[in-house]
Structure 1
């Protein structure tokens, strides 16, 4: 049998067989939590409380806001306070970041991460392909010189930490 036909047959068999766990059920996503932001730590980290449960240290998914000790850090924190502090909110957890939970926070149906990027208080986190969920919102904020983009020379938090170390 010619190699190209053998390759085609092998590919067809693999597609028909599926992956080893093709029949396995994926774990259900956790149910959204209803609660409130009871403390704003910085521009992308809050303490989220659900009545009757321990508070959750939450890092907002898909964004990175300036550190408190870097330019625009205090303004980013203030914006998050205005959007979310002491307001009824919904949290959909997406993972962990060390000791913190990572998740999508919504207040009155508004995705807080997206809003912070739109208003120029944070950057969209990018993957290896250079894309992120809020890159188009970030570019719009840059073109409109909103928030941290207004003065020019804004430094991405990871670069700031690498060059200057953590805030003290």
Structure 2
């Protein structure tokens, strides 16, 4: 047993190196450190990898916030800016969406705050049902609805999915 334990301890550095964060935003990457450098809208950010300096566009996994050209879209973007802009974060890329963006869970380094959860709890995003990754945030959205926070302070706020079906991407709205 003692020998097996020593062998396992010797293998730990190799395992740690094999699973080290890549920091390149590719699917399958482990958690890697970054800084949020730009907030696109209420569910998309650009980050700079702390390890390699690479810039990566991320979509926050599990939520769908209004488009910036949609009513309350600028307010949702501002809410995410207040939470994340210039903040060190830990990024875990889980998949890619149909637009090629990395889908990621993003946690603020200082306090572990899950940005997706904070946006849902603040009422600035609906849960996104993509592959069931919304489940951790459903209670947060429900509480925001019940309290009339954020988007849910206005009756009839249109979901981003419905808005995109009716109008297409923001650049086409009004054309």
Whole-angstrom distance in 2 between the partners of 1:99 and 1:33: 19
TM superposition score normalised by structure 2? 0.75
Match of 1:36 in 2: 35
Match of 2:12 in 1: none
Matched, 1:48 2:47: yes
1:39–1:85 contact (8 Å) kept in structure 2: yes
Aligned length: 140
Match of 1:119 in 2: 122
Whole-angstrom distance in 2 between the partners of 1:115 and 1:94: 19
Match of 1:71 in 2: 71
State the shift of 1:128 in Å: 7.8
Deviations 1:14-51 (A, max 9, x none): xxxxxxxxxxxxxx753211010000011100001113
TM superposition score normalised by structure 1? 0.78
Whole-angstrom distance in 2 between the partners of 1:43 and 1:133: 18
What are the residue-to-residue correspondences of 1:10-159 with 2, within 5 Å? Answer: 30-51=29-50, 52-97=52-97, 98-107=99-108, 108-126=111-129, 132-159=135-162
Deviations 1:82-128 (A, max 9, x none): 10000111001101113211100001200000000000000111258
- Name segments (4+ residues, structure 1) moved above 4 Å: none
Q: Which has the higher helix share?
A: 2
2:62–2:130 contact (8 Å) kept in structure 1: no
Q: Which runs of 5+ in 2 are unaligned?
A: 1-18, 20-27
Whole-angstrom distance in 2 between the partners of 1:65 and 1:157: 6
| Root-mean-square deviation (Å) | 1.7
Q: Which runs of 5+ in 1 are unaligned?
A: 1-27
